[in-house]
Structure 1
Amino acid sequence: MIALTQEKREELANYARARLASHVLHGGCSDEEEIFKIALAAITAVPFGWEIAGNIFPTLEEALKPGYIGTPEPIYDEPPVSGIKLPELIPSMGQDSEYDSGHNDGWNNCLAEIKRLNGLGE
């Protein structure tokens, strides 16, 4: 595990948020976007408990009480995804320019891949 100061965590989280916002503005759908989402979740995660020598404590304060030797290690849990909201497909209007057709196809293919990767089907 990499030890980060709170200041460095905030700096990295702000950077990840800015990159994600940039992807949203440009309609991006990429591996880079997913990496930034994962990084942001990891950087901002809050431990649900602390462990010292096999003993689990609900708070860091409890773990630091006298009687246990060692350094408290955080324990993290991955919260369940509450739900995935996807934008609508872009329908073909029949008279789209070549650019519009390519953009729409790319958008729709990206949505289809998100559904496939998340087991959402049609």
Structure 2
Amino acid sequence: MKPITEQRRQELIEYIKAALAAHVQRGGDSDEEDVFKIALASLTAVRHQWSNGCNLWVPRALRYLAENERPGGGNSYFNTEHLYQLARELELSMSSPLYTAPPVPVIKLPEKLPCDVRFDPGMIFRKGVLVQTMLDALIRRDDYEKELAELSEDERKARQEKISEFLNGLGE
């Protein structure tokens, strides 16, 4: 999953909520509804905390049992190593965040460009320009290049002639 901005995440959440409401109102199939719900869960994923604190006391309790005499008997060496291993595995698993759904990675962008940014051919955004302005311009540029790629050879020639006429008109 590619990272998105917080603004885009909010836009997607609103879009999916509206689409889901319209879908339910139309009485659509459950597969499409499930897809909407999965996407929404991923966009609104909340990190869960261990409510009972067991992420702290269970590994400590296992280490305590490994380091002290236990009344159960058995192979003390195996039990001790096993308890230490369990404590390490629990600490590792509990150090990672626990989510109800895999969250969409959200990137935090600065509001303004911290330095000049240059794109070929000849597109420059100066320090202090709003990042959203740069992103919008890049999206427009990408859309424009896609439109150009879809033109036939005749359409390209006609377009180039119009540009030439315009430029000639500027020189007069």
- TM-score bracket, shorter-length normalisation: 0.3 to 0.5
Q: Which has the higher contact order (CA 8 A, sep 6+)?
A: 2
TM-score (normalised: structure 2) = 0.29
Please say which structure displays the higher CA radius of gyration.
Answer: 2
**Greater helix share, structure number:** 2
TM-score (normalised: structure 1) = 0.40
